[in-house]
């Protein structure tokens, strides 16, 4: 891509002051607040989403800390008995027609493992402990921290034990939605082996394509597979025992597992505050880091790749989740160097734009379709955290400027065109607003 073509366009919004940017972000978070939680966007996502809540809490910690604590309390109130935190907690006041697949499809009310609320039965990356460390630093609330600490630790146990499907000590995701990177090329090889039943989609009505541009969203074939995989997990009672023999999608995602490892580091810090033993958290964190490097790092590409647990094969695709392990503080220096080199190369290129979700040089790089090219602020924020954790201040500063420039010009969009920097998707997206606040404070 010709970098010089994007720069003039990006300058167009340079006049927006930091103060105005902050106020705009606060307005998005206020408008998206609903009783006891924040919705990701009023148009497309009218419920309470799992990893969104973590990123949103980072921003709320600056803007309205009581709401940050309340948002996570409400999410974790829907934690299942086994420790899983559902990827969506449905708002009972929102019509079934407003989001598909909704509560009727997931049928969680019939599941003995569910404690409260109408939810899905799948999870998302456990970013919440990272957020709680920041909330504690800015607005400590001991009662809330103690309540959350137990539940955060329970979430970790669920993921590290019950989801250790491959047996090496990494968590498997059982659905692309669990990664948060729904239609990333990371899953193409695994999904390609699952038959598509487009007839099944006739039974259902996709709501996303009515609200959003269908050129941006996953295709119908992708969606048919998503529904089939979710139905298979649901029909097995959302149980994890024996998945290897009966479930078609089992993947070790480097982004998901890096967040899982980073969460153990955060829990070690929080354990010290609540008087628990931090050592087991640090040991688990070190184990996840080691295993990730041993199992999912490919020295030939210099980055991490997802693995199909059923075949043992690594995905050849170079996707942004392969850079996310940078957030692990105990990553070996040569791996850090290699990830920073990959993130700075023409494939991803930090600055003048942030990092796209997929290798720019790949033949199937797609500027518009969700996680197959566009820029997302949440994963870039994770990379920013990682760069700073490893003392890569110069790259961190460039990335921070690139993110702020994008939002200053395009608004608090859900994602951004990786060529022009234009904002696309929902225009008032909560995590973009929340993380903008964090970037503005620079801490």
Q: What angle do CA 220, 225, 231 make, to 5 degrees?
A: 125
- Please report whether residue 374 would count as binding ligand 9WN according to CB under 6 A: no
- Please report whether residue 256 would count as binding ligand 9WN according to CB under 6 A: no
414-443 binders of ligand 9WN (CB under 6 A)? none
- Please report whether residue 158 would count as binding ligand 9WN according to CB under 6 A: no
Q: Which stretch binds ligand 9WN (CB under 6 A): 176-184, 232-240, 287-295, 304-312?
A: 176-184
Using Cβ positions, the residue closest to ligand 9WN within the complex turns out to be 40
Query: Nearest-CA neighbor of 165 among 233, 88, 87?
Result: 233
- Please report whether residue 59 would count as binding ligand 9WN according to CB under 6 A: no
Q: Which stretch binds ligand 9WN (CB under 6 A): 9-17, 174-182, 278-286, 287-295?
A: 174-182
Count of residues engaged in binding ligand 9WN, rule: CB under 6 A: 10
- Please report whether residue 187 would count as binding ligand 9WN according to CB under 6 A: no
- Please report whether residue 149 would count as binding ligand 9WN according to CB under 6 A: no
- Tokens found for residue 366: 């797609």
Q: Which stretch binds ligand 9WN (CB under 6 A): 48-56, 63-71, 269-277, 300-308?
A: 48-56
| Candidate list 182, 252, 264, 417; residue touching ligand 9WN; CB under 6 A | 182
- Catalytic residue numbers read 182, 414
Q: Hey, which bits of 303-438 come out as E strands?
A: 303-304, 307-308, 415-416, 423-424
- Please report whether residue 49 would count as binding ligand 9WN according to CB under 6 A: yes
**Which residues, other chains included, contact 143 with Cβ-Cβ below 8 Å and sequence gap of 6+?**
none
| Candidate list 64, 208, 298, 337; residue touching ligand 9WN; CB under 6 A | 208
- Please report whether residue 177 would count as binding ligand 9WN according to CB under 6 A: yes
**Which residues, other chains included, contact 44 with Cβ-Cβ below 8 Å and sequence gap of 6+?**
208, 211, 212, 414, 425, 426
Q: Which residues pair with 29 in a beta bridge?
A: none
Q: Which stretch binds ligand 9WN (CB under 6 A): 148-156, 165-173, 175-183, 402-410?
A: 175-183
Nearer to ligand 9WN, 338 or 378 (CB): 378
Measured distance CA(48)–CA(116) in Å, rounded: 14
CB of 9 to ligand 9WN, least distance (A): 26
Question: Is 153 exposed, middle or buried (CB count within 10 Å of its CB: 0-12, 13-18, 19+)?
Answer: buried
Sign of the torsion angle spanned by Cα atoms 54, 58, 63, 65: positive
313-342 binders of ligand 9WN (CB under 6 A)? none
CB atoms inside a 10 Å sphere around CB 302: 21
- DSSP for 166-230, please give it: TSSS-PPBSSHHHHS-TT-GGGHHHHHTSPP-HHHHHHS--SHHHHS-TTTSPPHHHHHHHHHHH
69-108 binders of ligand 9WN (CB under 6 A)? 87
List residues near ligand 9WN by CB under 6 A: 40, 45, 49, 51-52, 87, 177, 180, 182, 208
């Amino acid at each position: 891509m010709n970098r010089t073509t994007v720069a003039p366009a990006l300058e167009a919004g340079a006049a927006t002051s930091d103060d105005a940017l902050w106020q705009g972000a606060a307005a998005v978070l206020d408008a998206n607040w609903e009783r006891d939680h924040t919705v990701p966007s009023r148009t497309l996502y009218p419920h309470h989403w799992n990893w969104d809540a973590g990123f949103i809490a980072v921003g709320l910690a600056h803007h309205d800390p009581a709401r940050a604590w309340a948002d996570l309390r409400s999410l974790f109130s829907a934690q299942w008995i086994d420790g899983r935190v559902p990827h969506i907690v449905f708002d009972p006041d929102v019509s079934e027609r407003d989001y598909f697949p909704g509560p009727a499809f997931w049928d969680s009310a019939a599941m003995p493992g569910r404690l409260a609320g109408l939810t899905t039965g799948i999870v998302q990356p456990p970013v919440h402990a990272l957020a709680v460390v920041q909330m504690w630093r800015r607005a400590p609330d001991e009662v809330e921290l103690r309540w959350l600490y137990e539940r955060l630790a329970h979430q970790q146990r669920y993921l590290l034990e019950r989801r250790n499907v491959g047996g090496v000590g990494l968590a498997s995701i059982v659905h692309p939605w669990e990664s948060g990177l729904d239609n990333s090329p990371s899953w193409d090889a695994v999904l390609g082996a699952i038959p598509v039943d487009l007839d099944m989609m006739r039974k259902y009505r996709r709501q996303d394509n009515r609200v959003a541009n269908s050129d941006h969203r996953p295709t119908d074939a992708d969606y048919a597979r998503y529904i089939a995989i979710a139905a298979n997990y649901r029909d097995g009672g959302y149980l994890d025992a024996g998945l290897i023999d009966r479930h078609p999608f089992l993947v070790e995602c480097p982004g998901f597992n890096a967040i899982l490892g980073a969460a153990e580091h955060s829990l070690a810090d929080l354990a010290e505050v609540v008087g628990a033993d931090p050592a087991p958290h640090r040991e688990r964190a070190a184990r996840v880091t080691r295993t990730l490097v041993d199992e999912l790092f490919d020295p030939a590409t210099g980055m991490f790749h997802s693995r199909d647990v059923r075949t043992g094969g690594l995905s050849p695709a170079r996707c942004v989740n392969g850079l996310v392990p940078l957030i692990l503080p105990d990553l070996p220096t040569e791996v850090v160097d290699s990830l920073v080199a990959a993130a700075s190369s023409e494939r991803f290129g930090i600055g003048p734009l942030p990092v796209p979700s997929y290798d720019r040089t790949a033949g199937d790089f797609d500027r518009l379709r969700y996680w197959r090219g566009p820029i997302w602020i949440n994963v870039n924020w994770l990379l920013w955290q990682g760069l700073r954790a490893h003392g890569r201040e110069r790259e961190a500063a460039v990335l921070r400027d690139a993110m702020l420039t994008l939002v200053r010009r395009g608004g608090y969009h859900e994602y951004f065109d990786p060529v022009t920097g234009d904002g696309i998707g929902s225009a008032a997206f909560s995590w973009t607003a929340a993380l903008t606040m964090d970037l503005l404070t620079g801490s």
